[in-house]
């Protein structure tokens, strides 16, 4: 009698579990049932914002739900990602940020760990970096710029798009170590205000993404001295890279989408597939062209590995900076 009763209880339990799994499966199958919020961790009107908007619109059409962009700039993406950590891990909340956010968390105390508290949906672009100065500046080459900085400690101020900007912080700090120069980093929350500071004469140089400086270079207002990529840019074939000048430094910025850790794998894959398909949308390609960003796709797994590799490089560079100070 007891055995029968026990078997009956177990059977009912298994049925309940099966029913629960069925309900969960059905709920996943319906995802998304409402608009999705994408926290834009960078300033409105900047290259990251402008290139992501057509991607979000295309992904929204694929998913059948609008993707609402919530702009929360600040702290090299830290403000937005800090907010994302407080949101539900249900697939309806995601963050748009860059490698700068990872750099920033190794420079300052933040309420999250990018690689532990979040999961990547994918990487969708990268961007070239370089140094621009006013066309009226006395430096025609990168060497002249460095020589002036060495001869005038603390006189060269350079703007960047964030405190953790890979061009403004990592690359320029690496160059400062190599050439024993003392220049001053003036970070802004976005490339647009950083470039405005250069055009307004508040800094002597701009070291960050080049998308927003292209028109000013072509208009004769700014001069590009050097780029930080693997090879010369098609739009500026006459401008050398650091590598060409014998400096083994490459510093592209890459943009990626993240969700809070704990999002069910089925939902994560739904988002991944939608955004991957959206990368083929013509409007997204136009957005990349306008902002001078590159079409670069990495899967969730490859994006996680790429950020982990970048973190090791960040730690190495910062250790070198610390040794110099000591």
User: Looking up tokens 């250790």, which residue turns up?
Assistant: 319
How do beta strands 205-209 and 253-260 pair? unpaired
Model pLDDT, residue 156: 97
Contact 209, 110 (CB under 8 A): no
- Cβ-based neighbour number of residue 86 at 10 Å: 10
- Kindly report whether the peptide bond that precedes residue 319 is cis, defined as omega within 30 degrees of 0: no
**26 falls within a domain:** no
User: Looking up tokens 């405190």, which residue turns up?
Assistant: 163
Examine the domain organization and report whether 149 and 221 are in the same domain: yes
pLDDT digits (tens, 9 = 90+) for 247-270: 988 876 789 999 999 999 999 999
230 — pLDDT class (breaks 50, 70, 90): confident
| CA atoms of 320 and 29, how far apart (whole Å) | 50
**23 falls within a domain:** no
| CA atoms of 161 and 194, how far apart (whole Å) | 6
Examine the domain organization and report whether 151 and 292 are in the same domain: no
Give the domain range for residue 174.
Answer: 129-251
Q: Which of 39-43, 62-66, 190-194, 296-300 has the lowest average pLDDT? A: 190-194
Model pLDDT, residue 27: 46
pLDDT digits (tens, 9 = 90+) for 188-229: 877 788 999 999 999 999 998 887 888 899 999 999 999 998
Examine the domain organization and report whether 110 and 195 are in the same domain: no
Model pLDDT, residue 157: 97
326 — pLDDT class (breaks 50, 70, 90): low
Check pLDDT > 80 for residue 32: yes
**14 falls within a domain:** no
Contact 96, 257 (CB under 8 A): yes
User: In the predicted model, what is the mean pLDDT of residues 176-192?
Assistant: 89
**49 falls within a domain:** yes
Check pLDDT > 50 for residue 165: yes
Contacts of 54 (CB under 8 A, 6+ apart): 281, 283, 284, 286, 287
Model pLDDT, residue 23: 47
| CA atoms of 315 and 225, how far apart (whole Å) | 28
Q: What is the CATH number of the domain that holds 180?
A: 3.40.190.10
Which among 49, 254, 235, 227 has a CA at the least distance from the CA of 165?
254
Of the ranges 19-23, 37-41, 168-172, 208-212, the best mean pLDDT one: 37-41
Which among 58, 84, 57, 59 has a CA at the least distance from the CA of 70?
84
Which among 146, 204, 148, 138 has a CA at the least distance from the CA of 171?
146
User: In the predicted model, what is the mean pLDDT of residues 53-81?
Assistant: 96
- CA distances to 36, 289, 305 from 235, in Å: 36, 11, 30
Examine the domain organization and report whether 192 and 79 are in the same domain: no
User: In the predicted model, what is the mean pLDDT of residues 149-169?
Assistant: 87
**52 falls within a domain:** yes
Examine the domain organization and report whether 193 and 276 are in the same domain: no
- Cβ-based neighbour number of residue 144 at 10 Å: 13
Examine the domain organization and report whether 174 and 279 are in the same domain: no
C-alpha atoms less than 13 angstroms from C-alpha of 181 in its C-beta half-sphere: 25
Say what percent of the chain tops pLDDT 70: 89
Model pLDDT, residue 26: 45
Model pLDDT, residue 262: 98
Check pLDDT > 50 for residue 14: yes
| Count of domains forming the chain | 2
Examine the domain organization and report whether 202 and 276 are in the same domain: no
Model pLDDT, residue 166: 74
Residue 141: DSSP 8-state: S
169 — pLDDT class (breaks 50, 70, 90): confident
Which among 39, 38, 40, 37 has a CA at the least distance from the CA of 190?
40
More confident residue, 138 or 4: 138
pLDDT digits (tens, 9 = 90+) for 77-108: 999 999 999 999 999 999 999 988 998 898 88
């Amino acid at each position: 009698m007891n055995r029968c009763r026990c078997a009956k209880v177990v059977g009912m339990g298994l049925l309940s579990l099966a029913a629960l799994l069925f309900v969960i499966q059905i709920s996943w199958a319906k995802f998304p049932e409402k608009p999705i919020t994408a926290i834009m961790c960078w300033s409105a009107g900047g290259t990251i914002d402008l290139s992501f908007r057509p991607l979000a619109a295309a992904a929204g059409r694929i998913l059948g739900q609008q993707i609402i962009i919530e702009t929360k700039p600040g702290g090299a993406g830290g403000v937005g990602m800090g907010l994302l950590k407080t949101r539900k891990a249900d697939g309806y909340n995601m963050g748009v940020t860059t490698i700068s956010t990872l750099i920033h968390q190794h420079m300052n105390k933040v309420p999250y760990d990018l690689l532990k508290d979040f999961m990547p949906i994918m990487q969708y672009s990268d961007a070239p970096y370089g140094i621009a100065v006013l066309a009226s500046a006395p430096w025609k080459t990168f060497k002249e710029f460095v020589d002036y900085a060495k001869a005038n400690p603390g006189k060269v101020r350079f703007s960047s798009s964030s405190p953790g900007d890979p061009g403004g912080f990592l690359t320029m700090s690496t160059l400062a170590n190599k050439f024993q120069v003392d220049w001053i980093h003036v970070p802004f929350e976005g490339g647009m205000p950083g470039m405005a500071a250069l055009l307004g004469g508040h800094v002597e140089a701009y070291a960050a993404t080049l998308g927003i400086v292209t028109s000013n270079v072509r208009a004769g207002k700014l001069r590009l001295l050097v780029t930080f990529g693997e090879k010369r840019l098609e739009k500026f074939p006459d401008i050398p890279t650091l590598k060409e000048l014998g400096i083994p430094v490459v510093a592209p910025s890459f943009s990626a989408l993240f969700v809070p850790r704990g999002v069910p794998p089925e939902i994560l894959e739904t988002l991944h597939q939608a955004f991957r398909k959206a990368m083929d949308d013509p409007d997204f390609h136009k957005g990349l062209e306008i902002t001078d960003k590159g079409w670069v796709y990495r899967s969730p797994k490859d994006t996680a590995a790429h950020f982990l590799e970048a973190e090791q490089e960040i730690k190495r560079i910062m250790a070198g900076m610390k040794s110099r100070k000591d």
